[in-house]
Amino acid sequence: MGDNSCSHIDEISAVKHAKKRECEECVKIGASWVHLRTCQTCGGTRCCDSSPNKHASKHAHSSSHPVIAYAEPGERWLYCFPDDAFAEY
């Protein structure tokens, strides 16, 4: 589905889903979020770039975990930060 080739997304055989529908970092600091993303390396769920704290992309950059899944109902997308690649699953 994505126009960019991305080996990170290709390596994912089973998509990890959010264990809880909340940003684990925002919960600690009492912040709010807009949308949620689930890291496909460690399974942690964090907030998107429309959220004030952008925890998902901060985590991707600081931990070098490249791929997140959109964690909203009905959204079946993976996104790779280093390749800026989307794929539907």
Residue 27's CB: how many other CB atoms inside 10 A? 11
Q: Is 83 in the site for Zn ion (CB under 5 A)?
A: yes
The DSSP line for 4-20 is S--HHHHT-SS----SS
Q: Is 69 in the site for Zn ion (CB under 5 A)?
A: no
Number of shown-chain residues binding Zn ion (CB under 5 A): 15
Run of H or E including 80? strand 77-80
Stretch that binds Zn ion, among 11-19, 43-51, 69-77 (CB under 5 A): 43-51
Closest to 64 in 3D by CA, of 40, 30, 34: 40
Residues 3-42 contacting Zn ion, CB under 5 A: 6, 8, 23, 25-26, 33, 39, 41-42
Give the residues lining the site for Zn ion (CB under 5 A): 6, 8, 23, 25-26, 33, 39, 41-42, 47, 53, 55, 65, 80, 83
